[in-house]
Amino acid sequence: MMNILELIPAELIRILIGLVAILVFIALNALILVYVERKVAGFIQRRPGPYEVGPWGILQTLVDAVKLMGKQLFSPTGGDRLLFWAAPLLAFAPLPLLFLSIPVGKNLVAYDANLGLILILAFSGLNVLALCLAGWGSYNKWSLLGAVRSVSQAVAYEIPLLLTVLAVTLMTGTLQLSAIVESQGAWPWQWNWLVQPAGFVIFVICALAETNRAPFDLPEAESELTAGFHTEYSGMGFGLFFLAEYTAMVVVSSMCTILFLGGWKGPGPEILGVVWFFAKVYALVILMMWMRWTFPRVRFDQLLNISWRWLIPLSLFNLLYVALVVKI
Amino acid sequence: MVFNWFHFGIILFLLAGIGFAVFPIIVALLFSPKAKGGAFAQPYECGMTPQGGAWSRIGITYYLYALLFLAFDVDVLYLFPAAVFYKDSIGFAAFWEVFIFVFVLVVAGFYFYRKGVFTWPRKIKM
Say how far apart CA A169 and CA B100 lie, in whole Å. 19
Say how far apart CA A45 and CA A134 lie, in whole Å. 32
Provide the CA B44 distance to its chain's centre, in angstroms.
27
Closest to A227 measured CA to CA, from A216, A235, A238, A236: A238
Q: What is the mean pLDDT of residues A41-59?
A: 85
Q: What is the mean pLDDT of residues A255-272?
A: 84
Q: What is the ipTM of this complex?
A: 0.83
Give per-residue burial for A15-51: e unless 16+ CB within 10 Å, then b. beebbeebbebbeebbbebbbbbbbbebeeeeeebbe
Continuous H helices in chain A: 2-7, 10-44, 60-69, 81-92, 95-98, 116-124, 126-137, 141-172, 177-182, 192-195, 197-210, 222-225, 235-260, 273-292, 300-305, 312-327
Contact A237 B25 (CB under 8 A): yes
Nearest CA in chain B to A326: B87
pLDDT of residue B59: 63
Q: Could you tell me what percent of chain A has a pLDDT over 90?
A: 6
From A29-33, A50-54, B11-15, the region with the lowest mean pLDDT: A50-54
Say how far apart CA A172 and CA A166 lie, in whole Å. 10
Contact B31 A69 (CB under 8 A): yes
Please answer whether residues A114 and A175 qualify as being in contact, where contact means their C-beta atoms are separated by less than 8 angstroms: yes
- The Cα of B15 is separated from the nearest Cα of chain A by a number of Å equal to 8
Q: How would DSSP label each residue in A270-313?
A: GGGHHHHHHHHHHHHHHHHHHHHTTSPPPPHHHHHHIIIIIIHH
- The Cα of B6 is separated from the nearest Cα of chain A by a number of Å equal to 7
Q: Which tens digit of pLDDT belongs to each residue from A95-105?
A: 888 888 888 88
Closest to A314 measured CA to CA, from A163, A158, A105: A163
Q: What is the mean pLDDT of residues A181-202?
A: 84
Could you tell me which residues are beta bridge partners of residue A108? A105
Q: Which tens digit of pLDDT belongs to each residue from B104-123?
A: 888 888 888 888 777 776 66
From A116-120, A299-303, B9-13, the region with the lowest mean pLDDT: A299-303
Query: How does residue A5 score in pLDDT terms, banded at 50, 70 and 90?
Result: low
Q: What is the mean pLDDT of residues A18-39?
A: 89
Sequence spans of domains, chain A:
10-327
Say how far apart CA A100 and CA B14 lie, in whole Å. 10
Nearest CA in chain A to B19: A93
Q: What is the mean pLDDT of residues A259-264?
A: 85
Mean pLDDT computed over every residue of chain A: 85
Could you tell me which residues are beta bridge partners of residue A105? A108
Nearest CA in chain B to A307: B118
Q: Is A324 on the interface with B (CB under 8 A)?
A: yes
Residue A15 confidence (pLDDT) above 80: yes
From A5-14, A18-27, A88-97, the region with the lowest mean pLDDT: A5-14
